[in-house]
Amino acid sequence: MNLYDLIVKKIKDIQAAGDESPVTNISTSSMLTAEITLVSSILVALIMLRLVSKVLMIVAVLVVLFAALTAMPLMPKFKKEQNDSLASMMFYVVIALAIVITLFYWGNLNV
Amino acid sequence: MNLLIALMVIVPILCALFLNLLHKRDRTIKVVTVLLALALPALPLLANYGLHYFGGYAPLVENPTLSANLPSMITGTALNTFHPAITYSFQSAQQLFVFILGLVALLAIFVSLFETRRPSGVYAYMMFMGVAAVTAVILTDDIFNLYVFFEIAALATVGIVLVSNIKGNYETALKYMIMGSIAAPLLLLGIALLLGVTGNVNITDIIYSLKNGLVDPQNPVLLMACGLIIFGWLYGSGLPPFHTIKSAIYSKALPSGAALIQTFSVFIFVALGIIILRIFSYLPFSQWVILGVSLLAMILGITMAILQTDLKRMIGFLAVGELGYIGIGLGLSTAYGITAGLFQAVNEAMITALLFLGFGVVLYQTGVSDTRKLGGMMVKNPLVALMVLLAGFAMAGVPPLNAFQSKLMLIQGSIKAGLPELGVIMILLSIVTFMTFMKAFHAVYLRPQPVDLEIKNEKIPKATLIAMLVLLGVCLIFGLFPQIATSYLQPLATSLAGGML
C-alpha cells in the first residue's frame, strides 16, 4: 500500500458513518491541501509568540508540531466538528464565550 | 443638520413597508422596487458630510441660546458637550460604505426581480429592511440604537432565508435565530454594562468619559463589557464559532439574497469593529483578540471552503475567511493597516456578491449547486464563465483587480507593524483561496457536462448579466485606481489609529 492509499484509508476511517460521499481524487487532494494549510498557518502564527518570549515560541512550535504530526490527519476531524448540528454549534458558542470573557477579565487585569 | 443622512435609513424602511402593501401585484412590485432601489446608492452621493441629531437636540455647546439660561453646573461640565439625541455621523468612509451597500442592494434586488417567476413584495421588504438596518449600524453614534438595528438586520437575514424556498431553509433559519438568542442578549448586556459605568449610550460621549477620567478605564465591569460586545461582534459578522451557521445561512438563501446577506455581514463586521477600536483601543489586549479571531476565521474559513462540494457553501466559507483579512487590518491598529482592512471590506462585499450572482446563474439554469453533479457550463454561457473567473481572481488577489491592492496593502501593513508572520499567512491563504476557486471553476465550467445534468432554463436574465458587469467594472476600477476608495477611508483610519475618535 503506497502513501496515497494510506491517506485515503485514513480519511475513510475518520469520515462519519452517515457520510455517504465517496473519497475521490479531488476530495483527497482537497483534504491534503487543507491539512497542510492548517498546520503551516498555525505554526507560522505561533512564531508571533516571539513578541512574548522566544523560549515560549520555540517550545510552542515544537509541541504543536509534535501534536500535529502524531494526530494527523486533522482536517477530517475538524470537518466533523464543524458540522451543522445545533448541539455542536452551541457547544462551541459556549466555549468561545467562556474563552473571550476569561481572556478579557483575567488577561487585562493581570497583564 | 442634514436630513439626507436620516433619509438613508428612513427611505429603505418606507420602501419596505410600501412594497409589503403591494403583495401579489407582481408587475407593480417590479417597477416600484427598481425605482425605489435606485435611491439606495444615490442618497449617500447626494448627502453632505456632517452629523444628524434626531429630534433636533444638538449638544448644548452647539446651542448658545439655550445654554445661556442654564446654570454653570450644567454648562461648565461635560454635560455641555454630551449628545442628548440619537446622533448619526456621516463622513467620507461612511459615504463609501453606504454607497457600496446601496449598490450591492440595488443589483441584488434587480436580479431577484428577474430570476424569480413571481416577484415577492415580502422578499423585497426583507431586503430593504436589512439595508436600512445595516445603514443605521454604519451611521449611528449611539450604541443602543446600533443594537436595535443589529437585531433588525438579523431578523431581515432570517426573513431572506425563510422566503428562499430552498430545502432545509427553515431549519437553518431557526438555528441562526437560536444562536442569535444567545449572542444578541449578551451584546445587549455588554452595552448595558457600558451604560451602567459611563452613564451614556453615545459612543463619542463614552470615549470622552474614558479619556477625561470621568470613569475608571480599568474598571473590571468595562472589561466584561468589552468581552461581551466582542462576542456579539463574532455573531453579527459570522466569525468563529458562528462561521458554520453563517455559511449555512448563505447557502440556504437565493443567490441574490446571499449576495446581500454577506454584504450585511461585512458592514456589520466593520461597523462593530470600528466601535470596539474607538471605545476599547486603550486596552492593547482588544487588538490581540481582534487579530486572533481574524486569524482563526481566515484559517478555518478557507480550509473548510476547500472541502466543500456545494458551491454556495464554498463561497460562504470563503466569505468568512475573507472577513479575517479585514479583521487583520483593523487589528494592526495602524493608519495604513486600518485603511487596508476597510478597503478590503469594500472589495470583499462586491467580489463575494459577484461570485454569489455568478454561480447563482448555474443554479438558475440547472437547479443544482453540488459541484460533483455539474460540468460543461462554459459552453452554455462563456460570458458568465469569464466574469466568474475574474471574480475568483479578484477574491484570490490577482492583479489588476481590487482585492490585489487591498491584500497587498494588508501584507505591507503587517510588515510595517512588525508582524511579517501575518503577511506570510495571508499570502498562503490567498493561494489556497485561488486553488479552492479553481477547483470549483473546473468542476462547473471546464469538465464535460454530465449526461444526467438537465438544463432547465437556457436563457439567462439580462438583469443578472448587467448586475455582474457593473460589479466587475467597479472591481476593475478600484483595482486600477485604488486611491479612489482609499482616499475616502484614510481620514477614518488615521483618526482611529491616532485615538482621536
Average pLDDT across each block of 10 residues of chain B; the chain has 501 residues. List them in order: 86 85 74 86 93 86 83 83 91 96 94 75 88 96 95 94 89 92 93 93 93 88 90 91 92 92 95 93 85 93 91 92 94 93 95 93 88 86 92 92 94 93 94 93 90 82 92 95 94 82 51
Query: Is residue B110 assigned to a domain?
Result: yes
Residue type, B321: G
Q: Is A90 left (phi over 0), alpha (psi -120 to 50) or beta?
A: alpha
Is A96 inside a domain boundary? no
- Which residues in B lie closer than 8 A to residue A34 (C-beta atoms)? 303-304, 306-307, 432
Minimal Cα–Cα distance from A2 to chain B, Å?
Answer: 23
Query: How many separate domains does chain B show?
Result: 1
Domain that holds residue A45: 3-82
Mutate to test the interface with A, among B306, B371, B429 (most CBs of A within 10 A): B306
Q: Per the CB < 8 Å rule, is A109 touching B223? A: yes
Q: Is residue B237 part of a domain?
A: yes
- In the chain, the amino acid numbered B436 is T
A28 within some domain: yes
pLDDT at position B97 is: 96
Residue A107 gets which letter from DSSP? Answer: I
Identify which of B179, B303, B424 has the shortest CB distance to residue A37.
B303
Does B73 reside within a domain? Answer: no
Whether the Cβ atoms of residue B397 and residue B364 lie closer than 8 Å to each other: no
Closest CA to B256 of B375, B392, B113: B113
Is the pLDDT assigned to residue A111 strictly greater than 70? Answer: no
Tell me how close the Cα of A7 comes to any Cα of chain B, in angstroms.
Answer: 15
Q: Has residue A104 been placed in a domain?
A: no
Boundaries of domain holding B203 = 3-63+80-497
Question: Does any domain span residue A27?
Answer: yes
* B202 SS3 class: strand
**B355 φ, ψ to 5°?**
-65, -40
Residue A89 belongs to some domain of the structure: no
Q: Is A97 on the interface with B (CB under 8 A)?
A: yes
Q: Count each helix (H run) and each strand (E run) in chain A, helices first.
A: 6, 0
- Report helix angle B420-441 to B311-332, nearest 10: 160
C-alpha radius of gyration, chain A, whole number: 18
Residue B52 φ/ψ, nearest 5 degrees: -125, 125
B222 to chain A, closest Cα gap in Å:
9
Nearest beta carbon to residue A109 from set B220, B228, B424: B220
* pLDDT score, position B23: 67
Determine the 3-state secondary structure of B310 from DSSP.
strand
Q: Rounded to a whole number, what is the distance in Å from the CA of B463 to chain A's nearest CA?
A: 34
Interface confidence, given as ipTM, is: 0.86
Provide the pLDDT for residue A83: 83
Residues of chain B contacting A79 with CB distance shorter than 8 Å? 304, 307
Question: Which of B186, B300, B306 lies nearest to residue A97, judging by beta carbons?
Answer: B186
Distance from CA of B224 to the nearest CA of A (A): 6
DSSP assignments along B207-266, one per residue: HHHHHTTSS-TT-HHHHHHHHHHHHHHHHHHT-TTSHHHHHHHHHTS-HHHHHHHHHHHH
B69 is a domain residue: no
**Sign of torsion, CA B49 B54 B56 B58?**
negative
Contact B133, B158 (CB under 8 A): no
Looking at the domain assignment, is residue B68 inside a domain?
Answer: no
HEC secondary structure over B132-169: HHHHHHHHECEHHHHHHHHHHHHHHHHHHHHCCCCCCH
Amino acid A57 reads: M
**Cβ-Cβ contacts under 8 Å, B432 against chain A:** 33-34, 37
CB pairs under 8 A between A and B: 120
Contact list in A for residue B183 (CB cut-off 8 A) is 93
Residues B343, B487: Cα–Cα separation, whole Å: 10
Q: How far apart are CA B239 and CA B242, in angstroms?
A: 5
**A14-57: pLDDT as tens digits:** 665 556 677 778 888 888 999 999 999 999 999 999 998 899 99
pLDDT in tens, B56-110: 788 888 888 888 888 888 888 888 888 888 999 999 999 999 999 999 999 999 8
Nearest to B425 among A34, A44, A97 (CB): A44
Q: Does A45 touch chain B (CB under 8 A)?
A: yes
With CB atoms and an 8 Å threshold, state whether B231 touches A96.
yes
Alpha-carbon distance of B449 to B149, in angstroms, equals 46
> Is A107 a domain residue?
no
Number of domains observed in the structure of chain A: 1
For residues B297 and B320, what is the distance between their CA atoms, to the nearest angstrom? 6
Unique residue bearing C-alpha cell 466569525: B239
DSSP structure class, residue A84: S
CB B104 within 8 A of CB B353: yes
For A82, how many CA atoms within 13 A lie in the half-sphere containing its CB?
A: 27
Instruction: Return the residue of A nearest to B296 by Cα.
Output: A42
Give CA torsion, residues B367, B369, B371, B374, to 10 deg.
10
Please check whether residue B42 lies inside any domain of the structure: yes
Residue A91 belongs to some domain of the structure? no
CA distance B399 to A22: 37
In a domain, A51, yes or no: yes
